[in-house]
Structure 1
Amino acid sequence: MNKPYKVMALSTVIATIAAGSITPSYASAAENTTKPAPIYADATNNYPEYPEYPEYSLGPEGLKDALEKTGSNMLVMDLYALTIIKQANVNFDGLTAISNDLQTGMKNNLDVSRVNAKQWLDDLKPQVIKTNQNIINYNTEFQNYYDALLEAANNKDKETIKAVLIELKDSISKNRDAVDKLGKDLIAFRDKLALDTQNFKSNTDTITGILTGEKNGIPDMKKQIEVNYKLIDENNKVYIASSVATALGAYLTATVIFAPIGAAGLGGGIYGITTSQQQINSAYEKIKQLTTNISTAELQVAKLTVLEQNTKNLVETVGAAVTATEKIKDQWTTMGVKYQSLLENVDKMNSDQIAIIIKSKLNTAKGSWNDVNQYAQNIQNGEIKFVEEKK
């Protein structure tokens, strides 16, 4: 009896999160009341002879906003997937209006839905986690190189600066490629989901139409129940009349004068009692079966409605995840361009200029990467833990 409750609980959580009524714990945990340092350092204040050089930023501007959407989408998709997997099978026992082909088609639809849900949990979600982990790993790499870059800037050592920038740029390229693959896989998954959901909806609409239709559906079954109750009422009247006839026939048979009449009445009464009783019992059995069929039909319609809505919502959420993933890829791409731009211009700048730019950008980027890293870790820990508890 725990499973239906779990499914309902998951559905409630999904609806609440999707409606924006609550925020995952990692989002609130990442909030900071202190205003973060701007992405671009105040190089112009410390070194007014040089501009800010925003094209040489070493920080993760825009990455945190993209992460927020990715984390929320991952959480909602996890819960939709778990709900689909845990949802009980539909059962059309006794519902003869649903053809065997239609029942088989719906069973296949449900099996495909569960396969899709497992694909998200077992294949795509780990890629999202890896994408998030890449951000954490890059922060570690950046912080490890921080002192080396700072020392090289102080020593005006262009070769070391270029070597470190190349290492960081290569990591950025790898992270971008990983996100690019994830985005392509999500798009393929979304398109497959959309087609599967369309097929699911087609069968669901057909079955729901049959079960709720006037012909052979719930309304028709209710009318049949009314007819059988009327049949019971009519046979009860026959039963009473036959009982009276039987009693009267038995009395008349006991007398010599009216014995022939009494025998006829007795025979007719017994036949009436037997026939009416059989029809009453048959009607009660039909009512019992029809009531069961109505309950089954109503339950299956409700199940199908929930399943259809969950699969539809999963498609929409995957679509949102594709958009968020594209934004993360764009941020890695932008960072790669800026690192490449700085790398190409190191030799063109004089030593003082490159030292000033590196030190100012490092100062800002260090704090910005720490901030993004903390948010990514909160997603990694909070979201995964939250969903695991729901399994």
Structure 2
Amino acid sequence: MAALQSAGDAVEVPAWRGGFGRLWTAAVVSRFGDSLRAAALPLLAATLTSDPMPVALVTACGFLPWLLFGLLGGALPDRVDQRRAMWAVDLVRGALMAAFAAAVALGHASIALLIALAFALTTLQTLFDNAATALLPALVPQPALGRANARLMTGQQLAGAFLAAPLVPLLLTAGEGVPYVADALSFALAAALVASLRTAAPERPARKPGSTLRGETAEGLRALWGERSLRALCVATTLCNIGVGALIATLVLHITGWLHAGHGGYAAAITAYGAGSVAGGLLAARLARRLGRMGSVLLAGAVQTVCLAAMGSIREVWVSITAMAVFGLMGMVWNVNQVTLMQERTPQAMLGRTSAAFRTLAVAGTPLGALLGGATAASWGLNTPALVASGLFLAAVVALIPALTF
């Protein structure tokens, strides 16, 4: 386990040596590659079809594996060495991306191939993400978990929003398959970094005779629902994800249609959100010290509620851009403290299953929200999804209030 570094009178922070630095680098490199792919795929899809439904199916397949395999992807890391699971998954994902890059370069890309790729990568991600959540407490002492999560998420946001996306047009000039080659290399490098960790697998109690993955998965669900603060946080996060799904699905229409701000306004709003998220990663630990983790999450939800209400009711592009910046900032505060609470309040031997149950329930809200956003925008106006999202965030804040005493 990594030693702690002193930060004067501040809380202790994770040392970069001892494994955390390698895990951070692997996470940032992997996010960089993922962001290259995420920015390049829509451009590729647009050259393959003008029908929005097949393109929407690619997005849907990015969520479906979480609903089908998310719980299983949490049970496996509680059985195996998380480090080995992570680097093995990254090697497989790297091989898939290398094959896809070759298909694109040879002119064999198709919407069906994009759909299959999205499904396969997200299926593997269910195992990788839950293993990573369970591994971090083995590398970082509990007092430094909050700052470790903040550094991880901030680094990933910087790599994705400010490094990868602007690089895609340059890479595409070298060839259609180049962004995907870069993504494959990022998986290989991340796998090497994780494989180099020398962290022993956590001690686990012996499994009961006849224990099955299904039964162990059910234990994770019971553990999540039996911890009152995590239960409230899961309900609140699911409500928020429904709201976020509604907002994201229609944001481009909100900015370009309702506000008449064009593609430049949309780009400004997305950039503001990314910048706010980075600032939120730097602020999360300070807020947690002052308000506690659950208090920080509650504040984040309340501020985001106001941001969404402003976006949906004030017809000024600068208001939406400012609101997106603050929304991103508080979203990062929420995410950092949510993950840290999960790691602090779950037994190490059950962390993979409990985090998988949390993620699966929460992720289910996003596609539902996307459908809700499209329906309300079509029926009542392009600003309506932001107002609906505001109401859902308000309900989430109310759901969190009883957990403040815990």
Q: Which has the larger radius of gyration?
A: 1
TM-score by length of structure 1 reads 0.27
TM-score by length of structure 2 reads 0.26
